[in-house]
DNA sequence: TGGACATGCAACCCGGGGGTTGCGCATCGG
DNA sequence: CCGATGCGCAACCCCCGGGTTGCATGTCCA
């Protein structure tokens, strides 16, 4: 079990890294609000080259945040929430641990100030 | 309101970036489970130099994920959950948007396959 | 069939991140 | 007062990520 948590770290880090870029995060947001979109569409409002967008989409795909399917002559990208949930769970876990640690600390302090 | 969302992106990206490093993420985890710790302590199980750890802690502090206070001759770092909550909210928001988009798409498809 | 439109691939540039070492300064404790 | 402990700062190295341009390939459609 503790080993599965260790795996969670190695799994979560690249995930956060993928989200830790303004361009990629805005791509994720666009996909989340507008649904599946082809590369050119995603490029349009991005202010950068199609190649750059493509690279970012590949990066997102590499960590499983995004999937793509070829439709005709265009390649459509869509979100995959599974990985997003992993990230969420990780953050929730950290919060919970911290709260617990804080509680222990508080109890300890109050015990020793008699 | 939509402008505040735009700000959220510029605020969330650096945050995820800070979490997107194995070393920093493990530091966050240690702080979350063991409570506030000084640099040397955090360095011990990290397998790297104190300087490296210091840099990472600074990085975490720069985005507000961590705070530090000088106690005697050592500097103690502790988590600050406020930023974590921002990240969580961002992920929740993306999930919700995507679900909504998916629902719209499904409705659209089913309408047009009579 | 010919010309748009949507991509894929590869070479190239540049800046910053992650890590280390060396040295100097303050604080603790006997 | 002196040695040990805990840090801060700065110089240095190396690699990879983010962007661009140029060219080739595959699809659509009139």
What residue spans define the domains of chain A? 2-111
- Nearest Cα neighbor of B63 from A20, A23, A63, A60 is A20
Q: Which residues of A touch B (CB under 8 A)?
A: 9-10, 12-22, 25-26, 28-29, 31-36, 79, 81, 84-85, 87-88, 91-92, 94-95, 97-98, 101-102, 104-105
Mean model confidence pLDDT for chain B: 90
Transcribe B6-71 into DSSP letters: HHHHHHHHHHHHHHSSHHHHHHHHHHHHH-SEEHHHHHHTTTS-HHHHHHHHHHHHHTTSEEEEEE
In whole angstroms, C22 C1' to B91 CA is 44
Mean model confidence pLDDT for chain A: 91
In whole angstroms, D15 C1' to B49 CA is 19
Rounded CA separation A88/A82 (Å): 10
The helix (run of H) or strand (run of E) holding residue B76 is strand B74-79
Classify residue A113 by its DSSP letter: -
Rounded CA separation B110/A72 (Å): 21
For residue B110, the model assigns a pLDDT of 67
Q: What is the per-residue pLDDT across A76-102, written as a single tens digit (0 to 9) for each?
A: 999 999 999 999 999 999 999 999 998
Q: What is the per-residue pLDDT across A62-80, written as a single tens digit (0 to 9) for each?
A: 999 999 999 999 999 999 9
Measured in Å, how far apart are chain A's first and last C-alpha atoms? Answer: 39
Q: What is the per-residue pLDDT across B40-76, written as a single tens digit (0 to 9) for each?
A: 999 999 999 999 999 999 999 999 999 999 999 999 9
Both tokens of A2, joined, read 């503790």
Rounded CA separation B28/A62 (Å): 24
- Give the nucleotide nearest to A73 (CA→C1'): D27
CB B25 within 8 A of CB A16: yes
Class assignment of domain A2-111?
mainly alpha
User: Is B36–A98 a contact, with Cβ atoms under 8 angstroms apart?
Assistant: no
Rounded CA separation A98/A91 (Å): 11
- Give the nucleotide nearest to A42 (CA→C1'): C6
Res. A3: pLDDT tops 50: no
């Amino acid at each position: 079990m503790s080993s599965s948590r260790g795996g969670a770290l190695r799994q979560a880090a690249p995930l956060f890294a993928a989200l830790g870029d303004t361009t990629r995060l805005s791509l994720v947001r666009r996909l989340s609000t507008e649904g599946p979109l082809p590369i050119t569409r995603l490029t349009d409002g991005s202010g950068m080259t199609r190649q750059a967008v493509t690279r970012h989409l590949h990066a997102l795909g590499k960590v499983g945040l995004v999937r793509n399917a070829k439709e005709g002559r265009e390649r459509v990208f869509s979100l995959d929430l599974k990985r997003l949930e992993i990230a969420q769970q990780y953050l929730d876990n950290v919060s919970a641990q911290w709260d617990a640690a804080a509680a222990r600390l508080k109890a300890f302090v109050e015990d020793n100030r008699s």
